[in-house]
Structure 1
Amino acid sequence: MTSFHTDLDARGVAVVTIDGPPVNLMTVAMFLELATEFERLAGDRAVRVVVIRSANPEWFIAHFDVEAILGFPTDHPPAAELNGFHRMCETLRTMPKPTIAEIAGRVGGGGSELALSCDMRFAAPAAIFSQPEVALGILPGGSGTVRLPRLVGRSRALEAILGCDDIDATTAERWGWINRVVPADELRPFVDRLAARIASFPAHAVAAAKARVVAAEGTLTDDLLAEGDAFNATLGGAGTQAAMRRFLELGGQTPDGERRLGELAGQVSGAPHVGVDGESNPS
């Protein structure tokens, strides 16, 4: 079953709508389908702009499927080329057309990494961001350790990645994780207007301007390869399998559990929870 659908309008704006109830979990099937779709959109001359949004206002993409990660092999040799998830994210970053993430609700883990790979991110006030992987004995292995520091700086990236707690939309905007917070009822019209405006400009100029901005970042390949190797190495770490299983036992990947993801991540190891209101509560 396809977990998203794509609509292309007459202006050349392709809207990819994630629709994988109940929480838009990034399953292996969803990842493979999205990777194929982004490659197709990158090469489609009729597409001027790509917008990614969710059919469910409560979740953009929860995170990658922890049950699937539990089945990943723990004896990977060093990688000679980018893995499939990294290639998908790099397609979003480097395709010759702008990519925009419209985030109305929660986004974490691999879903956050997908959004970080887009050229622009706009969020509703209710949006929540998280990288909960370290609490599960792994690390953000889908480009999070490479992209987030480049956007928010070293210290804030480490707060998010090591703290594994919820980051509210206002904080994410202040940090530079997202472009801006837009009132919920204005978010979609805002993104639609921006996408249509960009699509109206000469495609060759848009592509050339984006290419120069991407070039200014330099190549990310070596850092992504190193991140992939580091992620693979954590899969066999002491306590990793137990932490991921505990996460699932506590309600991870269920709507109730995912609504309190930062708190739940802390409960895996008994860590205190510092919520979006900044108050510390024992887990």
Structure 2
Amino acid sequence: MTASYETISTRLDGNVLSATFNAPPINLIGPELVRDLVGLIEELSRPATARVVVFDSADPDFFFPHVDLTKVPEYTAEAAKAGGPGDASLGMLFRRLSEIPAVTIAKVRGRARGAGSEFLLACDMRFASRENAVLCQPEVGIGTPPGAGAIQHLTRLLGRGRALEAVLTSADFDAELAERYGWINRAVPDIELDEFVAGIAARMGNFPREALIAAKSAVNAISLANPADVRADAALFQQLVRGEAAQQRTAELFKQGLQTRGRTEVDLADALGDLKAVD
């Protein structure tokens, strides 16, 4: 790896690249982080890069809480640089992540909600701290369906009923329930998580690159959504996130401390459930 990034620190150990997100105060997905992710995905798309990439967060409480709701046009513009104006969405950026010629592993501690969960779903594998990981798709509770891959991935992974439960309730899932539903590969005791992920990454990193990528490509051909469906989800999200219901509900959440380290962000699913209904 040759580039340096503002919000991502990288370390190469043999054939395994560690990429740690660090965007204080709470690792929101904003324009700076998306810009860095575009650059990193571009690097990882080149031949002869790392065979395995492990993503984690420098913040033990927040992997990615969600997008920065005050900067939707700005981060969308950064995402467009990965594929052009026709693909100006996190959904299509995350699809590019799913297709890079390397195996991607998300090592999850803290909250991964909204597009944070969708980033995890775009990775090839997800291993989470049993004690400290929380996953959630809060978008419907805010006023819009998910727009960066959750509908496509969760329906395939969880099945119709459980996907609808995850998406429509906007509820938090702890790691054990997420594992049982299929949202993540495994819930691992926190004290064992680092060693477990390092071991599985090193094991795959020693396998022939051509075999790893051929097998991944074959699975992708069966399991990834059609790009047109990803684009449609993104367009609907971008339309409704600017709608009256979403604007009213996010305004109330901001009054309560959204996008800070306070209780509203920590317990966002509860805060959404307490909001008054908007017709």
Q: What's the TM-score once normalised by structure 1's chain length?
A: 0.87
Q: Provide the rounded CA distance (Å) in 2 between the counterparts of 1:105 and 1:263.
A: 16
Q: Does 1:258 align with 2:262?
A: no
From the superposition, tell whether residues 209 and 136 of structure 1 become closer, same or farther in structure 2 (CA, over 3 Å).
same
Q: Give 1:3's aligned amino acid.
A: T
Query: Unaligned stretches of 5+ in structure 1?
Result: 74-78, 272-283
Q: Give 1:39's aligned amino acid.
A: E
From the superposition, tell whether residues 216 and 7 of structure 1 become closer, same or farther in structure 2 (CA, over 3 Å).
same
The Cα RMSD (Å) is: 2.2
**2:11 corresponding residue in structure 1:** 7
Q: Does 1:187 align with 2:223?
A: no
Give SS of 2:50's match: coil
Alignment check: 8 A CA contact 1:70 1:244 kept:
no
Q: Provide the rounded CA distance (Å) in 2 between the counterparts of 1:150 and 1:195.
A: 25
Find the partner of 2:21 among 18, 23, 48. Answer: 18
Alignment check: 8 A CA contact 1:102 1:121 kept:
yes
**2:145 corresponding residue in structure 1:** 139
Q: What's the TM-score once normalised by structure 2's chain length?
A: 0.89
Alignment check: 8 A CA contact 1:136 1:247 kept:
no
**1:30 corresponding residue in structure 2:** 33
Q: 1:42 Cα shift? A: 2.2
Q: Does 1:267 align with 2:270?
A: no
**1:129 corresponding residue in structure 2:** 135
**1:95 corresponding residue in structure 2:** 100
Q: 1:211 Cα shift? A: 0.8
Q: Give 1:87's aligned amino acid.
A: M
Alignment check: 8 A CA contact 1:17 1:52 kept:
yes
**2:238 corresponding residue in structure 1:** 232
Q: 1:108 Cα shift? A: 0.3
Q: 1:270 Cα shift? A: 6.1
Give SS of 2:71's match: helix
Alignment check: 8 A CA contact 2:31 2:75 kept:
no
Q: 1:97 Cα shift? A: 1.3
From the superposition, tell whether residues 42 and 216 of structure 1 become closer, same or farther in structure 2 (CA, over 3 Å).
same
Q: 1:218 Cα shift? A: 5.3
Q: Provide the rounded CA distance (Å) in 2 between the counterparts of 1:154 and 1:263.
A: 24
Q: Percent identity?
A: 37
Alignment check: 8 A CA contact 2:135 2:178 kept:
yes
Query: Unaligned stretches of 5+ in structure 2?
Result: 77-83
Give a deviation string over 1:7-66, Cα, whole Å, max 9, x none. 111x21111101112221111221121122122122151311111001111111111011
